[in-house]
Amino acid sequence: MTQILSVGDRQIDLSTPACMGILNATPDSFSDGALLNDDSSKNFKIDLDKALTRAEAMVKEGALFIDIGGESTRPGAAIVSLQEEIDRVIPIIEALHSRIDVCISVDTSKPEVMKQAIAAGARLINDVRALSLDGAMDVVKNSNAALCVMHMQGKPETMQSTISYDDVVDEVIAFLREKVSVCKENGISPSRLLIDPGFGFGKTVEHNYRLLAELSRFSELQTPLLVGVSRKSMIGAAIDRPVDQRLAGSIAATAHALAHGAKIMRSHDVAATMDAIRVNSAISSARKS
Ligand code: 9MG
């Protein structure tokens, strides 16, 4: 499998796994309240300086990617209008692009946001809806941005209420295989693709742990694997701790994911995730060939 990911005009070598730092420009994200300049979500307005300071700190800690999102995809989160999402993410992308040399990822499903984000400097489209909105495929195929294709059963509004699988691992792999194939048919080079099982998206805790336990099976898709488990409820369920006390649990899951093929870890806690990546690399290098 190729370990090189084409991200715009950059070639990223994923033979050593990388960290994607999370920058949520939403009022209801996992503990990102520091980006608000008003403590009521009704008057939510992003503080650009705080967003840039946080992004710069994550890059200093070792993040190769910064994933910027303006729409919360947590179960039951409010729907965000196109203009609202643009107002939340585009100024951050523009400012970050002009200040730091980092791969900017945009977490969006809306084609117009994708288009404006790419024009502003984003080079990776992280679409939890896997290009299912009309026009999304065209935007990606007419760019040189990389694409993360994620599995989700249902929609964020309802995904945790109607969950059903015969075999979650088989079904998630089949879904991703089909999406990768459609992307290739549309002319998107495999070197631009990442796949992601979508932990927490239309899955019970048991489904999430089954996917994690069998993560190495995703290598059959021959496409680099992105994993996001940071602070998620599957971690909380195993350790019975609230979201602000899930670092150790998240790193335990990260270590397992890295040992079983993950190439990019999406995380709120970049420094600790980089430590896990470095220890994983030390173990990999020590293995007898
Ligand atoms: C936006 N977002 C939230 N969780 C995520 C995950 O696990 N993977 C990806 N690709 N995006 C996510």
Q: What pLDDT shows up at residue 28?
A: 64
Check if the beta carbon of residue 29 is closer than 8 Å to that of residue 89.
Answer: no
Q: To the nearest whole number, what is the mean pLDDT of the chain?
A: 93
Quick one: average pLDDT of 189-201? 97
**Statement: residue 132 has pLDDT above 60:** yes
Q: Which atom of ligand 1 is nearest to the CA of 198?
A: 7
Contact indicator for 226, 12 with CB cutoff of 8 Å? no
Q: Predicted confidence band at 134 (pLDDT cuts at 50, 70, 90)?
A: very high
CA angle 138, 267, 127 (to 5 degrees): 15
Instruction: Assess whether 217 carries a catalytic annotation.
Output: no
Q: What angle do CA 85, 34, 72 make, to 5 degrees?
A: 35
Distance CA 289, CA 283 (A): 12
Q: How far is the CA of 288 from the centre of ligand 1 (A)?
A: 34
Q: What is the pLDDT of residue 79?
A: 84
**Burial zone of 289 (CB within 10 Å; 0-12 exposed, 13-18 middle, 19+ buried):** exposed
Q: Which pLDDT score, from 0 to 100, does residue 152 have? A: 95
pTM: 0.94
What pLDDT digit, counting tens, does each position of 78-121 carry? 789 999 999 999 999 999 999 999 999 999 999 999 999 999 99
Q: Which residue, by CA, sits nearest to atom 4 of ligand 1?
A: 228
DSSP reduced 3-state for 130: coil
Q: Which residue has the higher pLDDT, 237 or 75?
A: 237
CA separation for the pair 5, 214 (Å, rounded): 24
CA of 10 to the centre of ligand 1 (A): 22
Residues in contact with ligand 1 (CB, 6 Å cut-off): 69, 73, 107, 126, 128, 148, 150, 196, 198-199, 226, 228, 266
End-to-end CA distance of the chain: 18
Cα(33) to ligand 1 centroid in Å equals: 19
Tell me which fold the domain 16-288 belongs to. TIM Barrel (3.20.20)
Cβ neighbourhood burial of 287 (10 Å; 0-12, 13-18, 19+): exposed
* Confidence tier at 147 by pLDDT (50, 70, 90): very high
Give the atom of ligand 1 at the shortest distance from the alpha carbon of 228: 7
Q: How far is the CA of 228 from the centre of ligand 1 (A)?
A: 6
The pLDDT of residue 72 is 85
CB distance 86 to 49 below 8 Å: no
